[in-house]
Amino acid sequence: MSAAPKPPVIVWFRQDLRLADNPALSHAAQSGRPVVPVYILDDQTPGPWAPGGASRWWLHHSLAALSGALAGPGCPLILRRGRADVALRALVRETGAEAVVWNRCYEPHAIARDSTLKADLKAEGIAVDSFNAALLVEPWTVKTGTGGPYKVFTPFWKAVREGLDPGRPEPTPRHLATLPTPPDSDRLEDWGLLPTKPDWAGGLRDSWTPGEAGAQQRLTDFLARAVARYPEGRDYPAQPLTSRLSPHLHHGEISPRQIWAAAQAQAKTQGSDGVDSFLRELGWREFCHHLLYHFPFLPERPLNPKFEAFTWDDNAGHLAAWQRGLTGYPIIDAGMRELWATGWMHNRVRMVVGSFLVKHLLLPWTAGQAWFWDTLVDADLANNAAGWQWIAGCGADAAPYFRVFNPVLQGEKFDATGEYVRRWVPELAGLPDRVLHQPWTADPITLRAAGVRLGHDYPHPVVEHKAARQRALDTFAAIRDDND
């Protein structure tokens, strides 16, 4: 007489869309039980932080890649849509599962949902385990000497590095037991994740390969070709010297532990300078999650309470010009157009366009955060909120209020030959380098020879730099003085 089949274990995929170094999946595989992998499209629980348009495009293709990878061992990915807690409990009933596993998420809404769901499932006799698959260290394990959270990056990263031992990444499970008949699944195409109007698909397809294989290839290429020049080259947007791993990390197609292990192996052959600089950026990601965990209001309110009373401008025309890349400042417009076309923007340029929004235009950092949330393929709640608060000067380890990036000087320094601007602002391509980053200073003959009519082919600056800078200094200084 054959033994009764074991009840299955459900693996709830979220921001961990990979097979290798996936602790929840490895745990399920090692149990010997049939594995039911599921992804639930929960548009309700996140509230305003449901995935934006570019993230939804990425998610569609990442899920397609994950589904294909799971099809190899004959373990189909089940797709469900609705409130995650409701959909997951329904799947438990349908399959008779006696265990559910997942990898942890760290957004406030996810922590609240998962904590309640774990308690409810355990009360019903369902075994639940959760794992860390997204960070090098858990946010609650790094504490200052007084036992509180860090608010400054450098001592945070020093503390992390001193005791850090991420361990070896886990391999892809060799075998996944499956149910004879899988549960019903939605069709990915019916979820409507791909954009229709506006259609980002062309530029995104040309720029990215979502999925675990694409993430591994990008890491391999970066370590082989660029990491040695990363410390200096990372500031130059026309040069392909950044890793561009951020969307793969956000969607969990690669783990920070895999990146850490590969980078350390590379350091043994190429030296550690480039690797250390690169891993410091991985540390900034850890710091952002540390902040969001300890200050869950970060996406909505300034960490520095002085800024609660700050009076931002509400000029809709200026916001639209910034969003569309029509500010009249070439480096700003190049960055915003790169974002719209590819779903990504070079990090140096992110700082410059962010500073321009909050300092030159005095528009709220939350408006920039919202635009990035919808248009970035790497839109990550922790990184986005912490980054924008840093730029605005109201967050942790923030840029000082008097730091106002000059968009002309930034362009001339980091895009001296104009390659980046000419790519993304082609109407200015004929201008010589000496006036490319400030076309309003070009004489009529030069403009005519380049085929540029200011105010027609390309806008005049929406604000004058010197005056806008002084307004920003006065406004931000007033907030500081009022609260001293």
Q: 325-363 pLDDT, tens per residue?
A: 999 999 999 999 999 999 999 999 999 999 999 999 999
Respond yes or no: is residue 200 known to be catalytic: no
Same domain, 231 and 321: no
- Catalytic position from the list 102, 322, 388, 390: 388
Same domain, 349 and 419: yes
Range of the domain at 462: 305-483
Same domain, 24 and 163: no
Q: What is the mean pLDDT of the chain?
A: 94
Residue 244 labelled as part of a binding site: yes
Q: What is the mean pLDDT of residues 401-413?
A: 92
Number of structural domains, the chain?
3
Residue 292 labelled as part of a binding site: no
Residue 297 labelled as part of a binding site: no
Residue 224 labelled as part of a binding site: no
Respond yes or no: is residue 281 known to be catalytic: yes
Provide the pLDDT for residue 484.
Answer: 46
Same domain, 268 and 379: no
Q: What's the per-residue H, E or C state across the chain?
A: CCCCCCCCEEEEECCCCCCCCCHHHHHHHHCCCCEEEEEEECCCCCHHHCCCHHHHHHHHHHHHHHHHHHHCCCCCCEEEECCHHHHHHHHHHHHCCCEEEEECCCCHHHHHHHHHHHHHHHHCCCEEEEECCCCCCCHHHCCCCCCCCCCCHHHHHHHHHHHCCCCCCCCCCCCCCCCCCCCCCCCHHHHCCCCCCCCCHHHHHHHCCCCHHHHHHHHHHHHHHCHHHHHHHCCCCCCCCCCCCHHHHHCCCCCHHHHHHHHHHHHHHHCCHHHHHHHHHHHHHHHHHHHHHHCCCCCCCCCCHHHHHCCCCCCHHHHHHHHHCCCCCHHHHHHHHHHHHHCCCCHHHHHHHHHHHHHHCCCCHHHHHHHHHHHCCCCCHHHHHHHHHHHHCCCCCCCCCCCCCCHHHHHHHHCCCCHHHHHHCHHHCCCCHHHHCCHHHCCHHHHHHHCCCECCCECCCCCCHHHHHHHHHHHHHHHHHHHC
- Catalytic position from the list 102, 157, 208, 365: 365
Q: What pTM value is reported for the model?
A: 0.96
Has residue 187 been placed in a domain?
no
- Find the range with the poorest average confidence among 104-108, 223-227, 394-398, 470-474: 394-398
Respond yes or no: is residue 390 known to be catalytic: no
Residue 230 labelled as part of a binding site: yes
Same domain, 220 and 362: no
Give the pLDDT confidence of 177-231 residue by residue, as tens digits. 999 999 999 999 999 999 886 666 788 999 999 999 999 999 999 999 999 999 9
Same domain, 74 and 129: yes
Respond yes or no: is residue 140 known to be catalytic: no
Same domain, 394 and 457: yes
pLDDT reading at 1 higher than 50: no
Residue 380 labelled as part of a binding site: yes
- Catalytic position from the list 49, 191, 312, 440: 312
Same domain, 329 and 374: yes
- Catalytic position from the list 281, 315, 427, 440: 281
Share of the chain above pLDDT 90, in %: 87
Respond yes or no: is residue 12 known to be catalytic: no
Residue 242 labelled as part of a binding site: yes
Share of the chain above pLDDT 70, in %: 96
CATH of the domain at 114: 3.40.50.620
Same domain, 107 and 245: no
- Catalytic position from the list 98, 284, 315, 440: 284
pLDDT reading at 66 higher than 70: yes
Provide the pLDDT for residue 245.
Answer: 98
Respond yes or no: is residue 371 known to be catalytic: no
Has residue 189 been placed in a domain?
no
pLDDT reading at 163 higher than 90: no
Domain final residue pick, 294, 326, 351? 294
pLDDT reading at 403 higher than 90: no
